[in-house]
Structure 1
């Protein structure tokens, strides 16, 4: 496991600690092996900022890019005793054909103090597109639960703006106008016009793969939050990618168990509800999800992946001062994931029978 060491002037560290909700970046140095990189750093995330083990956003300054990335995130995974659910989920999306950030576990220290095991995650930005040789295009983050493709909030209140819940990560102001038009279209078009127009703005096959992934790993927040929209510069179509998937594999984001049938077959947001009104889109989803349930989201496929990841983490678990996970706890957690996969797979297959 790679070792990352952050060196930061105490005054800048105090600035971060004096206001944990401030997103302003402060200067620091990141050491990886013999290499030193000038960076800027800030806390990131929502729930995690109140925890003892915090997550970090790192932006490279000199050099401007490291391994093709200008920005990375170091996630604490504090509510996950296995430190694994996020990585397992993002890797799963990658396997089923959805653009997904890559990740790896690292050991982190700050000014000589051990901070434990972190999950380094790629930032979904223009540099990721460049690295993957994907067409350039705007990227918009779904930053809160108002990003539900609806005219109404989760509390059924009328939104003040169509782009509520979204933040432009990369692109121009007019790209937000395209997003507003997309959301207006989802909500205002008649069924006849929606069926005809939606393939002109959304990559439906990739969207349905994303829904399939979120449904399989059962991310309760994933349908109205924790995703990014990317408008492919060649096709002109919106695509979608996952983000922050720690509340998965039979657990919620706080680490509590969720029943295997907690999230329905179709997930839930306004865009999916409109798509699944039409038989051809229901049939397409049935085919995609059925294939995933047969070839990817199975105990035979996922068990060795989970075993390998857990074995790689075991030797370093005792080095994390913020968790009390040991080999026995990891084995127990493994059983939770295995049991979830088995029951969730059977449940989804049963639901698909009457879906088309």
Structure 2
């Protein structure tokens, strides 16, 4: 195996008493002290399980916060994702890299080989945290970041969860960083999305949302077919210089033809117009709709096609392949792992044909 293809080894040490506490209540969000060694660099960290339903899986995912030193390689925290339900292990990274390639802000990620207290835990995906350090790494203007934490992050005044009017406009969001006053800007954004008249929408919404970047993000959701991506699995970034909100994808393992349980999701499951209140209102405007139509065509010609994606997919697969037999959680699924690249490529071909057949709806 080429040296540049080897995965970095992350040696995680959680004191046995802390590991017992972590396993005693998987839903506890109180971090516990631990140590992480990367390339012989010893780091004091705080650690806790991450995710919602994924906490119940045998192979756990972790949220790591650097304690001493205070940051590592410019980051305050990282996420170590098990990608347990994705038998290809690569859908999340493939998606986030795809978003970045088509001009959308997206977190960086890399595959790592994790060991816990000397025991092999297998392949993990290290995900960059979307926070003030994320902005700094990219020389982006300071601003606020709000995580969409549940289905109420639907850009509506109505709750998806309670099926009534939202008790608070911030329902569905959790502020990660930024000044308090930006909470008012989020509220104003949601009010404007839902109250600007149809006649005024085209001229007014551009004062709140970077529409071009929103359309690129929407295209990314549609191509990868993330069913949850419209009301979840994203962060909002309010650019402090422009005052406009941008959208950043997050957690994209249920994509490329498989759902959150790893089951087949047919290529026509999600229509090209997507869903959520903001998307519906933007695509109601002919100029925005035609721009979106052109974007879909451009991206299929340049990025979302088998010729472009095949070397990327097989490159990731080849990098991970030597590690799968030693992953205690997925080694029995090696045959499935080996079949996934062809499955994903077939999805890309079928999805592109479906999208092309639906472009007339955007005329």
TM-score by length of 1: 0.98
1:7 and 2:13 aligned? yes
Is contact 1:317–1:325 with CA below 8 Å preserved after alignment?
A: no
Q: How far off is 1:325 after superposition? A: 5.2
Greater displacement, 164-173 / 221-230: 164-173
The counterpart of 1:134, out of the listed 132, 140, 153, is 140
Is contact 2:27–2:55 with CA below 8 Å preserved after alignment?
A: yes
How do 1:1-356 residues align onto structure 2 when only pairs under 5 Å count?
Answer: 1-154=7-160, 156-324=163-331, 328-356=335-363
Is contact 2:156–2:194 with CA below 8 Å preserved after alignment?
A: yes
Is contact 2:87–2:333 with CA below 8 Å preserved after alignment?
A: no
TM-score by length of 2: 0.96
User: Could you give the per-residue CA deviations for residues 287-320 of structure 1, whole angstroms, max 9, x where no partner exists?
Assistant: 1111111110000000110010000000000111
Q: How far off is 1:349 after superposition? A: 1.2
User: Could you give the per-residue CA deviations for residues 57-103 of structure 1, whole angstroms, max 9, x where no partner exists?
Assistant: 00111111111111100001000111110010000001000010111
Is contact 1:275–1:281 with CA below 8 Å preserved after alignment?
A: yes
Looking at structure 2, the residues matched to 327 and 42 of structure 1 have their Cα atoms a distance apart, in angstroms, of 29
Q: How far off is 1:169 after superposition? A: 0.3
Q: How far off is 1:327 after superposition? A: 5.1
Q: How far off is 1:192 after superposition? A: 2.0
Greater displacement, 16-25 / 202-211: 16-25
Looking at structure 2, the residues matched to 271 and 248 of structure 1 have their Cα atoms a distance apart, in angstroms, of 22
Looking at structure 1, the residues matched to 176 and 361 of structure 2 have their Cα atoms a distance apart, in angstroms, of 40
Aligned residues: 356
* Residue in 1 that maps onto 2:4: none
Q: How far off is 1:190 after superposition? A: 1.1
Is contact 1:107–1:118 with CA below 8 Å preserved after alignment?
A: yes
Looking at structure 1, the residues matched to 136 and 70 of structure 2 have their Cα atoms a distance apart, in angstroms, of 14
Is contact 1:314–1:326 with CA below 8 Å preserved after alignment?
A: no
Is contact 1:82–1:325 with CA below 8 Å preserved after alignment?
A: no
Q: How far off is 1:218 after superposition? A: 0.1
Structure 2: stretches of 5+ with no match in the other structure:
1-6
Q: How far off is 1:326 after superposition? A: 5.5
Looking at structure 2, the residues matched to 44 and 205 of structure 1 have their Cα atoms a distance apart, in angstroms, of 32
Looking at structure 2, the residues matched to 200 and 278 of structure 1 have their Cα atoms a distance apart, in angstroms, of 15
Looking at structure 1, the residues matched to 341 and 284 of structure 2 have their Cα atoms a distance apart, in angstroms, of 38
Structural RMSD (CA): 1.1
